[in-house]
A and B are shown apart, each in its own frame.
Chain A
Amino acid sequence: MSTVRIPAPTGESAPGLSEPAPAALPAKTSPGQRSGARLVRPRSRRDNIHGWAFSAPFLAFFLIFLVWPMISGAYMSLTGKSLTGANSGFIGLANYAEAFGDSDMWRSLGNTLYFTLISTVPLVVIALALAALVNMGLPAQWLWRLSFFSPFLLASTVISLFFAWMYNPELGLFNDVLVKLGIPPVAWLNDPAVAMWAVVIATVWWTVGFNFLLYLAALQNIPQQHYEAASIDGAGGWRQFFSISLPQLGPTTVMIAILQILASLKVFDQIYQMTEGGPGGTTRSIVQYIFEAGFTGYRLGYSAAISYIFFGLILLIALVQVFITRKRSV
């Protein structure tokens, strides 16, 4: 991919990197030349000291605020620790055993997987469709990017306020439109059958712009010669899209889908703010269950155990990702 060079449009020369000449770049990044410092002098004590000195600040934060919580959380999950300070001590795997028999935990996990399933598909497909349309050489590119991407910049609270208002059963815009179209009004966030879809609609509006930009960047990196050759051979727009764009976007699609699945599994903010997990727990996510077990149920140990079950699920999906990408690159 990096070997194909599209001439940079005017004013877009690599900022700050006029050197080296493009031809020199591949040599710089070739494997085996990773540590150029070796060219000057062998690994020295000074290098060891300097290396760790430069790494120390990050490492300190990393150890204190990531590694230590991981360890203390793992230990906590084996205790009966409570938010009120009471600590019933080491109880082994009892929290895990309880969690596996906890129907609310399974239900939250199920809701989360359901949300992930029904949000990932539109978030990938709509992003691709929007990017493909905008990339058809439309004028005013900045306008489309602004329209589709700007919601992504909003805080979850802002989009939740917007949509809670539009979903309002009596005063909301959605029902107003439905009624004018002769369709009976919907109790968007209060109907157990609809609430999750309502959250998905808000989420798609909010975040599709990010995937849209990734697709747009990938589309614009496809060498134009491919399209030129195809159109000389008489291939039309659809044919070009399905025979050139789509296959070339394969790795991007895999990447976006996996990033999206991992992001959707962590859903909490917009659901908590719009429905608080209701109606009747139908939209409660696993992260909300972790939060509630710890902060409203006061059971930190149990909450930590659910966190680790959730982490195990994410890890499993990440391993699948590694497996897929490795298979692709072979």
Chain B
Amino acid sequence: MATTTLSRPKLRFKGSVADIPARQKRTPLSRILATVIVSVLAVAWLIPFAWATLTALKSETEAASTPISWIPASGFTLDAFTKVLGSGNIPTWTLNSLFTSAAITAITLVISASVAYAISRIDFRGKDLLMGVIIASIIVPPPVLIIPLFQQMQSLNLIDTYWAVILPQVIHSPMVFVLKKFFDQIPRELEEAALMDGAGRLRIFTTIVLPLSRPILAAVAIFVFIGAWNNFLWPFIATNESSLLTLPVGLQTIKSAYGIQYAQNMASALLAALPLILVFLFFQRQIIKGVATTGLAGT
């Protein structure tokens, strides 16, 4: 299954109706019906966003009043947003998330791409064993490691540092597999010519293989970044200090602190969601391709 993923032609996500001859023979009625059903479902899927946004735009009294209304009688207000942003926590946590996620992504890319390159292209003793062990490790569920990792971080004195958040999150065995599959398909002639000319391995890797692999590197990067940005359990265990929390962990503490501040809760949630919604709008195609390739190859 996974072996065919990358050699397959590009997915037809951009295809329009006109590109699909068979579809034109469908009765228009069934397509109209499908459009109606999908539209209703899509609206249903967007309701939580809409409801959260409307609540965040209410005053606290309006948010907590019954009967509930979509449009507040006293009009909309940005109070909840200004209060949340003014408290200073959300901006700090956003920066923490940005820094740790970027670091995790960068380290993951460097170490995964180089090990994948070695396994794909260099004929060294033990590489089959190495690949086997990496693939086998996919089955280890991260929650199993939290207790020993916590102990380890404690004995290294890293609890409540960025390092504790970052270091254990850079091992992505499925991504090594995905990258190796991609490298396997880069024509060897390119590399052989460079080898003849006396280029070293590192030179070949950085000037030939990596530039040719930009699409898959982007897919892996986006995937790892989103995972790191949203990870909850490990950062929740690794940090306590409020100024070091990542956004998801920080939000969890807000919830208990302002248990009844509904408008502010929703404003915080929306502000936390915003960066990734923006990432999605900018990288929609890469994200979808990333799910299709890395998601499929993850097995």
Contact = CB atoms under 8 A, between A and B. Distances in A.
Contact of A214 (B122, B144, B295): B295
Contacts of B192: 36, 39-40
Given A72-B152, A266-B142, A47 B124 contact: yes
Interface string A39-69: 1100100011111111101110110111011
Interface string B32-58: 001101100110011111011001000
B111 A58 contact: yes
A117 interface: no
A58 B12 CA distance: 35
Contacts of A164: 255
A294 interface: yes
Given A62-B137, A136-B23, A303-B147, A154 B123 contact: no
Contacts of B199: none
A320 interface: no
Contacts of A5: 9
Chain A: number of interface residues, binned into ranges:
35 or more
B288 A304 contact: no
A29 B7 CA distance: 9
Given A55-B130, A72-B148, A170-B66, A310 B299 contact: no
A57 B114 contact: yes
A154 B118 contact: no
B292 A213 contact: yes
Interface string B263-289: 001101100110011011000100010
Nearest to B251: A157
A112 to B, nearest CB: 11
Contact of B25 (A12, A173, A231): A231
Nearest to B167: A65
A196 interface: no
Contacts of A14: 9-10
B224 interface: no
Given A76-B148, A221-B11, 5 more contacts: A28-B187, A39-B192, A50-B124, A137-B20, A154-B230
The list of the 7 closest CB pairs from A to B, nearest first, reads: A51-B124, A137-B23, A54-B118, A73-B148, A58-B115, A2-B4, A227-B22
28 contacts: A1-B1, A6-B9, A8-B10, A9-B10, A12-B14, A15-B215, A48-B124, A50-B118, A50-B122, A51-B127, A64-B167, A65-B171, A70-B144, A72-B148, A130-B41, A138-B17, A145-B13, A147-B41, A153-B230, A153-B280, A157-B252, A157-B272, A205-B45, A214-B296, A224-B22, A255-B1, A307-B143, A310-B143
Interface of B: 1, 3-4, 7-17, 19-27, 30-31, 34-35, 37-38, 41-42, 45-49, 51-52, 55, 63-64, 66-68, 107, 110-112, 114-115, 117-119, 121-127, 130, 134, 137, 139-152, 167-168, 170-171, 176, 184-188, 192, 195, 201, 205, 211-215, 226, 229-230, 232-233, 237, 247-249, 251-252, 255, 262, 265-266, 268-269, 272-273, 276-277, 279-280, 284, 288, 291-292, 295-296, 298-299
